[in-house]
Amino acid sequence: MTAVGPFAPLADAAATVLVGVPVWVVYWARRLAKARHTSLWFAYVLPVGVGGSAVLAVVGASIAVYQVLVWTVGDPEGASAAQHFSGTPVAGACVVVGLVSWWYHRRVLVAAAPGRTEVTRVYEYLMSGIALAAATVGVTLVVVALVEALVPAGFEIGTSVTNSLLAGVTLLVVGGPLWWAFWSHVGRLARAGVEVELGSPARRVYLVVLFGLGGVAAVVSVLVAAFLAIQGVLQTGIDAAVVRDMRIPVAILLATAVVSGYHGAVYRDDRSRLPVAEVRHGPRYVLLVGSPDDGVGRAVAHLTGARVDVWTRTDGTAGPWVVDDVVAAVSSSGADAVTVVAGPAGLETVGMRRA
């Protein structure tokens, strides 16, 4: 038996909730939320939990704002208010659910990695990237709409020029402030000359990816625009129709070229402000034997440049790791490989070499 009439959507939604919520509670709330915070755990919480929720909220907000703008100043194409706003409740629900889910996963993330850590930076650059993607699409649509307005077609197919422009403005209004909020925050920290911010792996990956993707998209757009131009010249010559056909690749070229050029310039500025790395002379391999690893392995590897493995003592006599003490012990050894054993009396350093 299926629900019919005005309650059919409510019944479908209730069925989805009844199936999905128990599965989420069993697998996430009762098990994985309290599990060890491994790389796989963060790979779910960051891109899926935080990122997916943010995308849902941005898409929902964009649809709702667009529908309001079209009804207010755009071209609703003769639809009644009920018809025009039929999808707005779903868009609003996406905003609410997305924001609640984002808030929840953000709290989980803060509890798992308190303070300003690399996980915090990954979160900030992820949010900045999502917002920048929306704003970039908005710029592209605005350029497309401007070309359509300057070079009108003989007859209009699809969305009107006004509505295309409003779609671009909507994405700029939704994505622009969000991008600026996160990007200006990390930018202030980087401009303050904090070395850990300038040299952050998350920042480097963010800048390189945007520079690379923007560059690739710009090159592809140039090729497509050139193909359309050559095709038009061979067929009818350069006229308004050819210019109009080139509007999308040209708009993508302008938007992605700005994104690529800007982030490439930021990356080069970061590299110029980082101090020259000192050549480290020390062990190439470090084995730490003691208490369970609480990030000490990554910290020692970063500070010494060595490959680090951590083994846990089973007798429970090891004290907590102190990164500075471990680095000092490693640096004092002239061997290519070092074992640092944490015991009740402190650290014991043993140089090693292959037989």
Distance CA 293, CA 353 (A): 24
Does pTM surpass 0.85? no
Separation CA 327–CA 301 (nearest Å): 9
Beta strands 346-352 and 307-312, pairing class: unpaired
Residue corresponding to tokens 């991008």 = 179
Q: Of 45, 56, 51, 55, which is closest to residue 97 (Cα–Cα)?
A: 56
- Hey, is 249 helix, strand or coil? helix
The pair of structure tokens assigned to 354 is: 């292959």
pLDDT digits (tens, 9 = 90+) for 145-186: 998 888 876 555 557 788 889 999 999 999 999 999 999 999
pLDDT (0 to 100) of residue 137 = 95
- At 91 the pLDDT is 92
The pLDDT score that the predictor gives to residue 157 is 59
Structure tokens at 237: 């010559």
DSSP 8-state secondary structure symbol assigned to residue 284: S
Residue 286 φ/ψ, nearest 5 degrees:
-130, 130
1 confidence band (pLDDT: 50, 70, 90):
very low
If you search the block for the tokens 């980082």, which residue do you land on?
274
Tokens 């649509």 correspond to 141
Tens of pLDDT, residue by residue over 297-337, are 888 888 888 888 888 888 877 777 888 888 888 888 778 88
Question: Residue 78 carries which side chain, given as an amino acid letter?
Answer: G
What is the enclosing helix (H) or strand (E) of 297? helix 296-304
Residue 139: pLDDT band (50, 70, 90) is very high
Q: Can you give the pLDDT at residue 6?
A: 64
Q: What is the pLDDT of residues 269-305, one digit of tens each?
A: 888 887 765 555 678 888 888 887 767 888 888 888 8
Residue 286 DSSP code = E
- Categorize the per-residue pLDDT at 193 as very low, low, confident or very high, splitting at 50, 70 and 90: low
Q: Tell me the C-alpha distance between 48 and 245, whole Å.
A: 37
Q: Return the axis-axis angle of helices 161-191 and 118-150, rounded to nearest 10°.
A: 150
